[in-house]
A and B are shown apart, each in its own frame.
Chain A
Amino acid sequence: MSDNKDEDKEDKNSGGELEKCRKEREEYLDGWKRAKADFANYKKEEALRLENFLKFSNELMVRDLVGVLDSFDLGLAVLGYDDPGRKGMCLIQNQLEDQLKKYGLERIPSALGKSFDPSLHEAVAEIDSEKSPGIVVEEIEKGYKLHGKVIRPVRVKISKGQLTDNNKQ
Chain B
Amino acid sequence: MSKILGIDLGTTNSAIAVMEGGEPRVLENQEGNRTTPSIVAVSKSGERLVGLLAKRQSVVNPKNTIFSVKRLVGRKFTDSEVQNDKNWLPYEIKAGENGGVEIKMSAQGGSPPKEDGPRAHASGGNDRWYKPEEISAMVLQKLKADAEAKLGEKIEEAVITVPAYFDDAERQATKNAGEIAGFKVRRIINEPTAAALAYGLNRQKEEKIVVYDFGGGTFDISILEVGDDTVEVKATGGDTHLGGDDFDKRIIEYLTQEYKRREGIDISKDSLALQRLKEAAERAKHELSTTLETEINLPYITSDSAGPKHFLMKLSRAKLDDLVKDMIDRSIDLLKEAVTAPPPKGAGIKLSDIDEIVLVGGQTRMPAIQEAVKKLFHKDPHQGINPDEVVAVGAAIQAGILQGDVKDVLLLDVTPLTLSIETLGGVATPMIPKNTTIPTAKTQIFSTAADNQTSVEIHVGQGERPMMADNKTLARFILDGLPPAPRGIPQVEVTFDIDANGILNVKAEDKATNKGQSVKIEATTSLNKEEVEKLKKEAAEHAEEDQRKKGLIETKNNAESLIYTAEKSLKDMGDKIDAKVKEDIIEKINRLKSVKDGDNLEDTRSALNDLSAELQKAGGAMYNKKEEPPH
- Residues of chain A at the chain B interface (Cβ within 8 Å): 27, 30-31, 34-35, 38-39, 41-42, 45, 56, 67, 70-71, 74-75, 77-78, 115-116, 118-119, 121-126, 133-134, 140-141, 149-150, 153, 155, 157-158, 160-162, 165-166, 168
- Residues of chain B at the chain A interface (Cβ within 8 Å): 20-22, 31-32, 43-45, 49, 53-54, 56-57, 59-61, 112-113, 115, 117-118, 271-272, 275-276, 279, 298-300, 303, 307-308, 404-405, 410
- A141-B60 contact, Cβ under 8 Å, with A31-B410, A165-B115, A165-B118: no
Other-chain contact of B307, A35, A78, A119 (Cβ < 8 Å): A78
- A149-B307 contact, Cβ under 8 Å, with A118-B53, A133-B44: no
Cβ contact within 8 Å between B31 and A149 = yes
- Chain B residues lying within 8 Å of A38, measured Cβ to Cβ, are 20-22
**10 nearest A-B residue pairs (beta carbon):** A74-B300, A118-B53, A122-B56, A126-B60, A123-B60, A71-B299, A38-B21, A140-B272, A118-B56, A78-B308
Cβ contact within 8 Å between B303 and A78 = yes
Other-chain contact of A125, B60, B308, B404 (Cβ < 8 Å): B60
Tell me the minimal C-beta distance from B16 to chain A in angstroms. 16
- Chain A residues lying within 8 Å of B43, measured Cβ to Cβ, are 116, 118
Inter-chain CA distance A120–B272, complex, in Å, is: 18
- Chain A residues lying within 8 Å of B279, measured Cβ to Cβ, are 67
Inter-chain CA distance A75–B298, complex, in Å, is: 11
- Chain A residues lying within 8 Å of B275, measured Cβ to Cβ, are 124, 140-141, 155
- Chain B residues lying within 8 Å of A77, measured Cβ to Cβ, are 300
Cβ contact within 8 Å between B113 and A35 = no
| Chain A to chain B contacts (Cβ below 8 Å), 28 pairs | A27-B404, A30-B404, A34-B405, A38-B20, A38-B21, A38-B22, A41-B20, A56-B32, A71-B298, A74-B300, A75-B308, A115-B45, A116-B43, A116-B57, A116-B60, A118-B49, A122-B56, A123-B61, A126-B60, A133-B113, A134-B44, A140-B271, A140-B272, A150-B31, A155-B275, A160-B113, A161-B112, A165-B115
Inter-chain CA distance A132–B279, complex, in Å, is: 30
Complex: chain A residue closest to B310, CB-CB: A71
Cβ contact within 8 Å between B32 and A149 = yes
- A125-B21 contact, Cβ under 8 Å, with A31-B410, A141-B272, A155-B275: no
Complex: chain B residue closest to A40, CB-CB: B21
- Chain A residues lying within 8 Å of B308, measured Cβ to Cβ, are 74-75, 78
Tell me the minimal C-beta distance from A141 to chain B in angstroms. 7
Inter-chain CA distance A135–B341, complex, in Å, is: 57
Inter-chain CA distance A97–B252, complex, in Å, is: 29
Cβ contact within 8 Å between B45 and A134 = yes
Tell me the minimal C-beta distance from B271 to chain A in angstroms. 5
Tell me the minimal C-beta distance from B4 to chain A in angstroms. 13
- A118-B54 contact, Cβ under 8 Å, with A35-B22, A125-B271, A134-B45: yes
Complex: chain B residue closest to A122, CB-CB: B56
Cβ contact within 8 Å between A153 and B272 = no
Inter-chain CA distance A155–B278, complex, in Å, is: 13
Cβ contact within 8 Å between A118 and B271 = no
- Chain B residues lying within 8 Å of A124, measured Cβ to Cβ, are 59, 271-272, 275
Cβ contact within 8 Å between B20 and A168 = no
Inter-chain CA distance A56–B115, complex, in Å, is: 49
Complex: chain A residue closest to B52, CB-CB: A118
Other-chain contact of B300, A71, A149, A162 (Cβ < 8 Å): A71
Complex: chain B residue closest to A68, CB-CB: B299
- Chain B residues lying within 8 Å of A121, measured Cβ to Cβ, are 56
Inter-chain CA distance A141–B43, complex, in Å, is: 22
Cβ contact within 8 Å between A162 and B113 = yes
Cβ contact within 8 Å between B272 and A123 = no
Inter-chain CA distance A42–B57, complex, in Å, is: 37
Cβ contact within 8 Å between A118 and B20 = no
Cβ contact within 8 Å between B57 and A123 = yes
Inter-chain CA distance A17–B410, complex, in Å, is: 21
- Chain A residues lying within 8 Å of B272, measured Cβ to Cβ, are 124, 140-141, 155
Inter-chain CA distance A35–B439, complex, in Å, is: 14
- Chain B residues lying within 8 Å of A42, measured Cβ to Cβ, are 20-21
- A123-B59 contact, Cβ under 8 Å, with A38-B21, A155-B275: yes
- Chain A residues lying within 8 Å of B299, measured Cβ to Cβ, are 71, 74-75
- Chain B residues lying within 8 Å of A118, measured Cβ to Cβ, are 43, 49, 53-54, 56-57
Inter-chain CA distance A149–B29, complex, in Å, is: 12
Other-chain contact of B404, A31, A141, A150 (Cβ < 8 Å): A31
Given contacts A30-B404, A31-B405, A123-B59, list 11 more A-B pairs with CB under 8 A.
A45-B20, A70-B276, A75-B308, A124-B59, A125-B271, A126-B59, A140-B272, A150-B31, A161-B112, A161-B118, A165-B118
- Chain B residues lying within 8 Å of A155, measured Cβ to Cβ, are 272, 275
Tell me the minimal C-beta distance from A143 to chain B in angstroms. 11
- Chain A residues lying within 8 Å of B61, measured Cβ to Cβ, are 123
Most B CB atoms within 10 A — which of A27, A75, A165?
A: A165
Cβ contact within 8 Å between B56 and A78 = no
- A153-B20 contact, Cβ under 8 Å, with A70-B276, A161-B113: no
Tell me the minimal C-beta distance from A169 to chain B in angstroms. 8
Inter-chain CA distance A126–B45, complex, in Å, is: 15
Inter-chain CA distance A115–B21, complex, in Å, is: 45
Tell me the minimal C-beta distance from B580 to chain A in angstroms. 58
Inter-chain CA distance A47–B60, complex, in Å, is: 42
- Chain A residues lying within 8 Å of B404, measured Cβ to Cβ, are 27, 30-31
Cβ contact within 8 Å between B307 and A165 = no
Tell me the minimal C-beta distance from B47 to chain A in angstroms. 8
Inter-chain CA distance A34–B407, complex, in Å, is: 14
Tell me the minimal C-beta distance from A145 to chain B in angstroms. 11
Inter-chain CA distance A31–B57, complex, in Å, is: 46
Tell me the minimal C-beta distance from A130 to chain B in angstroms. 13
Inter-chain CA distance A96–B272, complex, in Å, is: 23
- Chain B residues lying within 8 Å of A30, measured Cβ to Cβ, are 404
Complex: chain B residue closest to A76, CB-CB: B300
Inter-chain CA distance A71–B299, complex, in Å, is: 6
Inter-chain CA distance A118–B405, complex, in Å, is: 39
Inter-chain CA distance A158–B58, complex, in Å, is: 12
Tell me the minimal C-beta distance from A67 to chain B in angstroms. 8
Tell me the minimal C-beta distance from B202 to chain A in angstroms. 21
Inter-chain CA distance A168–B114, complex, in Å, is: 11
